[in-house]
Structure formats: structure tokens, C-alpha cells
Amino acid sequence: MKSTVYNLLSALAPLHYDNLTYCHKQSLKILNRFSGQHKRFHSLMGKDPVHLEKRMVDGQYLPPWFSVAPMMDWTDNHYRTLARLISKHAWLYTEMVVAETIVHQRNNLDRFLAFSPEQHPIVLQLGGSNLENLAKAAEFANAYSFDELNLNCGCPSGKVAGHGCFGARLMFDPKFVADAMSAIAANCSVPVSVKCRIGVDDHDSYNELCDFVYAIVSNSPTRHFIVHARKALLSGLSPAENRKVPPLKYEYYFALLRDFPEVQFTINGGITGIDQVNAARRQGAHGVMVGRAAYNNPWSTLRHVDSAVYGIPTSSLSRRQILEKYQMYGDSVLGKYGPGKPSIRQLVKPLLNLFHSEPGNGLWKRKADAALRRCKTIECFLEATLDAIPDSVLDSTLHRSPSDWEGSFADIDGMLPPPYKLSLQQSMSVSACLGISN
């Protein structure tokens, strides 16, 4: 039997963005349907029709069944260039860009927002807690043709949650988040999403998580949530500890699928490989987001995404060929924004994990350290270091095939919390919005 929340949300906020109505918002721009897989646009840097065509089906990108998490200082243009050479279909996220940075740097936006067309599909993550600046940031970013705009409501870092009251701290104020998502959506032409935790500090019950989701879905165009299945502890834990210490509660994520069937949910947290991705998808996950594993071991993590997740043949590029292509990119952008912007070290950084656990990896990293002291180009760096890696590794194209591992999701159905129920106040609010009399 369909729940009350299902029926009310069906009437209030259907998934088709062009049919949405809101009690307190007007004149929002029409958005495309998330599950319609997003019509694409080209970036200001031009487009490569041949390259883009390989990743599009009937003019659309494939859905975000697999995505790489936004990670500060990690998922920059250089890492995303490498990741796209390994997987054509994984959805890529930028680092979080603070709205105020975009507003104040409006005359220098390429440095923060520009990306090559090969990086599509790509999502821009925004951070902030000022509605006007979030709206302006979305307007400026819209010119760069990202495929989705995302608001950070999950970062527990003191630099984020404690500065300007954004990141995970925003989960304390779902009404503001709904207003922020409406403001962002009104100023862009692509779908919008929220990345959040399952709770913050002592506000960690399943009902509180549902209250957060419900408030946003019923008062904004947001129909996609990326849910890190741990709560955030804003005091006493570092960001690294917040990724490990709070227990994973995947049952909360899968209960959201049950209680909000018209909303798209991507699961995040503790998932480190394609076997786990496929297990989550078999259990019903709409999408899976992988974080540090995709950075710390990009070859093994991303190599099977196209074939194992999307059912499309994997690229035949070897790591030698990938490095040759990356070298052309790297040397073309060295110092593009001034001396050392970017630097050789910044460009080499995402390469250093390409041979994770492979023969020669230790020697490669020692040679890399020495080469970075003297090399001025990526070509010089590769010439000085690649003899540490055996040809059999450099020229291999495939690892092992993914298995049917079930892992943490096999018994999840028996662990789900009770279905979410709207409070009387929420039900009255929905009825008033729909014009339903008691």
C-alpha cells in the first residue's frame, strides 16, 4: 500500500520539473526531468562533437548510476581529465566552489569554473549560506553548461560547517535549504541536487532525515539527493574521522527509496569498488557515489565503470596511452593562469596513484619526487619516471572481472526503519498548498 507521504508528494511535487508548482515560489525556470537523463549543453571552451557523441545516446548522457564524489583539493580539472580518460560515462563532480568566490571573482571565472567538453557529464558543487550569492553563483555558473548544480549540505569540516554556517550545519535548517535550492534552480537551466549526511550530531533519527528531505522536496525543485550514509559530528572529530568513526547506516538510504519513490537518491559512504557499486545497484540504489577510492586507486576503481555499470565496452586505452594523452593536456595548461598556476606539481598530483599496488609503484613514486624538483613539463616528468614501471603494467588494458559480491547490502531489507509518516502539521501544510479542505 502506498504511504501517505507518497500520495501527498505525488500530488504536490511530481518528478516532471515542467509541471512543478510551489506554495511560496513563483517564476522558477523550467527544468528538465532528472530521470530523463538531462539534455546536454557544451562548455564555453568549445566542444568536440566526435568525442561527445561516444558518450551520448539519442543526444543524452547516461544516468548518474556511478559518480565520483566532490573532494576538496582533489577533484580539480586535472584529476577530472585523468578520470575521463579512464571512464567515459562516470559522472564527475567539481571540488566545492564557495558561492562568494564565484561572485567576487566574476571577472576571473574561467579559473574556477572552466572545464574541457570531454569532462561531461559533470556536476558543479556549490557551498554557501547566502541566498543572494547562491543565486548569483548559479547564474554565472549557468554560462559554463554544467550538467547539474549541487549544494553541499554534508561537509563536516570546521572550515565549511563552522564558517558562514554551511556544509553539514545546513541540515539544521531545511527551510533555508529549500529556499536555497529554489534560488539556485531559478537561475540555472539544469537540474539541482543536494548532498547531505543522514544526520548531524544528535539529530540523527530516520524521521529527522525524512523531515529534511520532505521539506526540500515539497518546497523546491530538488529531486536528487546524494546521501552519505553516516551522520556528521561537528565537534570532536576531524573531517577524516567523520568519514570513518560514525557508523554507516545503509538502511536509512534504502528506506528513503521506499518512502520517497519519486525522488532520485544516490548512495555514498564506505563504497570502494565496482563489486560494492553493483551490489548496491542490485539492491535498488538509483546511483552510487565513490569518493577516495576513485582518487587513491583510479585505474582499478574507474576501469570497469563503463562495462560493469553501464554495459558499454570499456576503453581500450592502456595506462601508457592514457599518460600520453594526459601529457598533451598537462603541458598545454602549465602556467595558464600565471606563473605556477597550475604548477607541475599540481598537474602530476593525480597521476601518482595510477599504479597503486602495481610492480614498480614504490620506485615510480621515489623517482617522481626527484623529477618534480627539476622537471618543468609533464613530458620531462614522464621520461624521467616511467622506466620504473614494467611494460606489462604500462600496456595492460584490463584488470580482473567484477564479481557478484553482495557485502553490506545482502540483508538490508530486514534492517529498514519503520515507514516515514507525516506529522499533522505537515499534512495540514500540504493540504493547504493543494487547496484541500478538511
Hey, which residues are catalytic here?
155
Torsion 215-217-219-221 (CA) sign: positive
List all residues 6 or more positions away from 234 whose beta carbon is below 8 Å from its beta carbon. 156, 158, 161, 162, 168, 169, 200, 201
**What does the alpha-carbon distance between residue 119 and residue 84 come to, in Å, rounded to a whole number?**
6
Question: CA-CA distance, 277 to 237, in Å (whole number)?
Answer: 27
Cα dihedral 3, 5, 6, 11 sign: positive
SS3 for 43-81 is: ECCECCHHHHHCCEECCEECCCCEEECCCCCCCCHHHHH
User: What is residue 191's three-state secondary structure?
Assistant: coil
Phi, psi (5° rounding) for residue 52?
Answer: -65, -40
Strand-strand pairing, 60-61 and 66-68 = unpaired
How far is it, in rounded angstroms, from Cα 361 to Cα 207? Answer: 47
Preceding amide of 402 cis, omega within 30: no
